[in-house]
Every structure is written in C-alpha cells, then in structure tokens.
Amino acid sequence: MSEPTTPVFSVRDLWKVFGPGADRIPGSEHAALPSTELRERTGCTAAVRNVSFDVDKGEVFVVMGLSGSGKSTLVRCLTRLIEPTSGTLAIDGEDVLAMDRTRLRELRRHRAAMVFQHFGLLPHRTVLDNVAYGLEIQGLGKAERRARAAELVEKVGLGGLEDRRPAQLSGGQQQRVGLARALAVDPSVLLFDEPFSALDPLIRREMQDEVVRLHREEGRTMVFITHDLSEALRLGTRIALMRDGEIVQLGTPEEIVGSPADDYVRAFVRDVPREQVLTVATAMRPPSAGEGDHGPALRPEATVSEAIEAVARSGDPVARVMKDGRLVGVVDHACLLDVVAGTGAQAVTV
C-alpha cells in the first residue's frame, strides 16, 4: 500500500438549498422530503443534499446523473462559485469555507481550473492568446506566457493553429483551446462541467481520448460531470451517481455496473456491455490441481472481454491471472460467462 495522501477535495455533509429560508432546511424535519414536496411545503429546492466524498489525488472523479440531479451545483460549490448552505469542504486539507476573497480568487485561478460546456473563449483573441490568458491574469511576463501557451497548444494537438480565432475552429478544436487554457495554470485539479456534450460523437470520442491521455501521462486530478454513462465508464476512476441532490452510489465503474446499489442504478446501467467493464479480478476463481502452470497470462485489471478473446485465441481452456509475477487465480469460459450474465462471484480484492 502507498502512503495515504490528503485528498484533493474533502466534502462532508454538504447541502445547497435554493429558496427562502434555505439555511433552515438542512437538519430540519423537511430535510428528507422528496424534491416536489419540499418545494410545495417550503418553496425551496435542495440541489445538493447531505453529500460526502473525497476526491483522491490523481483520480478522475466523475459526477453523473440525470438533468436536474444537482451535478453542476455540486461542482460549483467546490470552489464556491455557488455558496454551500451547510457542511464542510476542504481542498488539499485547507478549509475552503474559511477562505477570504483573495484566497478564493487564488483558488479559482491557480488550484482548480474549470472547463465549461460552452468553451468561454475570448472571440477576438487568437488561440495562443486565449491559452495565455490565464497566465496573464497570474501576472506572468509576455514572452514567458507565450512560450508556455505554445507548449500547451502543442500538447492538446493544435500545433499550427496558434494564430486562428475561435470562430475559425471546429467545436472540438475550440474545446481543446479551453482545455489548454485550463492546463496553462498547472492547477492541482481540473473541473469539467459537461465539456463535450455539445460535440458530435466522433469529436467527443477524440476529446475523451485526450482526457484519458492527459490523465495517464500527467496523473492530473479531475472532477468530470457528465450525464452520459458510457463517457462516465470510459473516464472515471470512480463515479458518483446522483439523484435528486443525493449521491446514490459512489464506486468504480466495475462496482457500479457489477453491483448496482438499488433499482435506480440498476436501470441506469442495464444496457452496459458488462464484459467491457468487469475485470478478470471479478471473474477469477482459485486454480484446481493441474491448473495455473499453462494457458495465457492476464492482468487482474484486464476486462472480461479481453479474457474471452485471449482464451479463444490460445486454444487453452484456462487462463492464468498474474499479478507481479505471481498467480492470483484462473479464469475459464464458465466463470467468464457467469460474470457477463450477472451470476458470477462478487469482486475479489487482489
């Protein structure tokens, strides 16, 4: 095990209530009312209800849920773009609710950069100057910020387009500029509010790959809002599934798909191809005599779909699951198919 590190965000019992007398709602007899009833009785909307979670360093923390479930409100509370009604909130161990205006400005400029759905680019500035903008407000000198901006333009795949203006770019290219601008200040966490939902599916896929690449290459911490399940499953280290202001389940994609917490989550993940999400760590069983010294070798985190392919290709009925050169289990057709059908064992910790 590695040393426990301070979470990037630590959120406890967070509430955001909109409406008259909002601060009297958390902890009151009205707190548990369903949203429609709460609105009828008090005129208030509880957009975020008693939510607690940590965002760990280096993870992509996805917030998912239907429209109106409280995703944007929750993420905006993290930097107090929306003022929480009650609860506690820390970034890198520092109390966000105790920050004064200067400290908050610093937080939003340097530590938690936001990437929006509608790009928010400055129309009269070039690509390079849009990216350099965040560095300008940080007070960096011109030559230095242009050099740094050029590096980032290159990094997000826009090399050669430095002098264009936003109107001369496609939606995907504009969002890359937004991404480069957010990265320019080297924030400890990137916050994305449905950044790709305005893009067509192919470009969207490309942008998802970009996020995966950034995460893999730089280990950057990200909080990513989406209402698209396949996007959540592709990007998320963990996913918080929201309904009516609450987090109904928080877990890895594999936990959400493999062990949905209730009927709501089950309905959400019903159409997911399980073999592409569940791993051989979930499917494997202990080896019996004579097994474990032959057959293809797989990593515990390989997907069931990869395992099915490996077993089929090898002609050997049993594949070995190896971790750090050690045999931790085996998989065969039966246990792989059990997991796909939902009748298999629950996740085993390796």
Ligand X SMILES: Nc1ncnc2c1ncn2[C@@H]1O[C@H](COP(=O)(O)OP(=O)(O)OP(=O)(O)O)[C@@H](O)[C@H]1O
Site string for ligand X, 12-51 (x = CB under 6 A): ------x--------------------------x-x----
- Tokens 């997991």: give the residue: 339
Residues at the interface with Mg ion (CB under 5 A): 72
Q: How far is the CB of 76 from ligand X (least distance, A)?
A: 8
DSSP per-residue string spanning 101-156:
HHHHHHIIIIIEEEE-TT----TTS-HHHHHHHHHHTTT--HHHHHHHHHHHHHHT
Residue 296: name its binding partner from Mg ion, ligand X, none (Cβ under 5 to 8 Å by kind).
none
Shorter beta-carbon distance to Mg ion: residue 63 or 140: 63
Per residue in 253-289, is it b (16+ CB within 10 Å) or e — as a string? bbbbbbebeeeebeebbeebebbbbbbbbbbbbebee
**Beta carbons within 8 Å of 97's beta carbon, 6+ residues apart:** 80, 84, 88, 89
The residue number whose beta carbon is nearest to Mg ion equals 72
Q: How far is the CB of 80 from ligand X (least distance, A)?
A: 14
Q: How far is the CB of 42 from ligand X (least distance, A)?
A: 13
Q: Is 83 exposed, middle or buried (0-12, 13-18, 19+ CB in 10 A)?
A: exposed
Count of residues interacting with ligand X (CB under 6 A)? 12
Residue 264: name its binding partner from ligand X, Mg ion, none (Cβ under 5 to 8 Å by kind).
none
Q: Is 68 in the site for ligand X (CB under 6 A)?
A: yes
Q: How many helices (H) and strands (E) does the chain have?
A: 13, 13
Among 2, 4, 34, 67, binds ligand X (CB under 6 A): 67
Q: Is 71 in the site for ligand X (CB under 6 A)?
A: yes
Residue type, 237: T
Q: Is 80 in the site for ligand X (CB under 6 A)?
A: no
Contact 283, 319 (CB under 8 A): no
Residue 68: name its binding partner from ligand X, Mg ion, none (Cβ under 5 to 8 Å by kind).
ligand X
- CA-to-CA distance for 275 and 290, rounded, in angstroms? 27
Q: Is 288 in the site for ligand X (CB under 6 A)?
A: no
Query: Degrees (nearest 5) of the Cα angle 199, 228, 208?
Result: 55
Q: Is 227 in the site for ligand X (CB under 6 A)?
A: yes
Q: How far is the CB of 18 from ligand X (least distance, A)?
A: 3
Residue 238: name its binding partner from ligand X, Mg ion, none (Cβ under 5 to 8 Å by kind).
none
Q: Which residues bind ligand X (CB under 6 A)?
A: 18, 45, 47, 65, 67-73, 227
